[in-house]
Amino acid sequence: MRIRLPFAAVFVSLCFLAGYAGLSTLQLGAYVNDKVLHAATFFILTVVFYWIVDTNRRRTLNLTLVACTLGLGVGSEFVQAAIPNGREFDLYDIIANIVGSAAGLALCTWYHMRMLERKRQSRYQSVPGQDITDVELGEGVNGQEEGITMGSSGLRDRTLEEEVGNWDENGQDAWDEDEEEEEEEEEEDSEDDRKGKAPK
């Protein structure tokens, strides 16, 4: 778990400003709607606080929910009521604080999930410029993994399944023809030998 110092510095500065505006006798409601100001302040505080701690998404969500939405959003109104500064406890201020903080938390959670998904996709995507075919699955090997080979004439030889499917048990086998051709060649060779030995 790591602390992002720039976000922490911005959050502390915003807390000082918000604390001064909320706990002092300064009245900003004459210029801006008080409830809009509360919602906008806690929206910004929640967004900045969410990115302070570098940890997993669930832990960051729970920490931000407890610290900003409940701790600052609800607790600040009780502190404000306890200080004699002319301000009174207002339930609608708490609601505005929670609405603004919840909106900031929802935005950060959505963006965090999107960021993690993009990082995951970039980590497991294929290397650019390389073939995406899988040789082990028989992709892109021109039929060699399927037992289909090419003969010397460039025509595809028949596979074992095709040979068995076309086999005729009553027909003459190819090896019988080969044996007959070999016998004829042997007879021709023996005749040539006899002719060569015969007297002239």
What is the reported pLDDT for 10? 94
pLDDT in the model for residue 167: 62
Residue 191 belongs to a domain? no
Is 43 a domain residue? yes
Q: Is residue 15 part of a domain?
A: yes
* Residue 187 to residue 200: CA distance in whole angstroms: 22
Query: Tell me: the pLDDT tens digits for 73-105?
Result: 888 888 777 776 666 777 888 899 999 999 999
Sign of the dihedral defined by the CA atoms of residues 147, 150, 156, 160, in that order: negative
Domain region containing 76: 2-124
Is 190 a domain residue? no
pLDDT at position 192? 63
> Which tens digit of pLDDT belongs to each residue from 136-194?
455 555 544 445 555 555 555 666 666 666 666 665 555 556 566 666 777 776 666 66
Return the pLDDT at 109. Answer: 93
Residue 22: pLDDT band by 50, 70, 90 thresholds?
low
95 within a domain of the structure (yes/no): yes
Asked if residue 107 is part of any domain, the answer here is: yes
pLDDT on residue 124? 76
Overall number of domains in the chain: 1
pLDDT of residue 105: 94
With pLDDT > 90 as the criterion, what percentage of the chain qualifies?
A: 26
In a domain, 87, yes or no: yes
Question: What pTM, to 2 d.p., does this model score?
Answer: 0.56
Closest CA to 17 of 33, 50, 40: 40
Q: What is the pLDDT of residue 200?
A: 45
Residue 61 domain-assigned (yes or no): yes
Q: Which residue has the higher pLDDT, 4 or 178?
A: 4
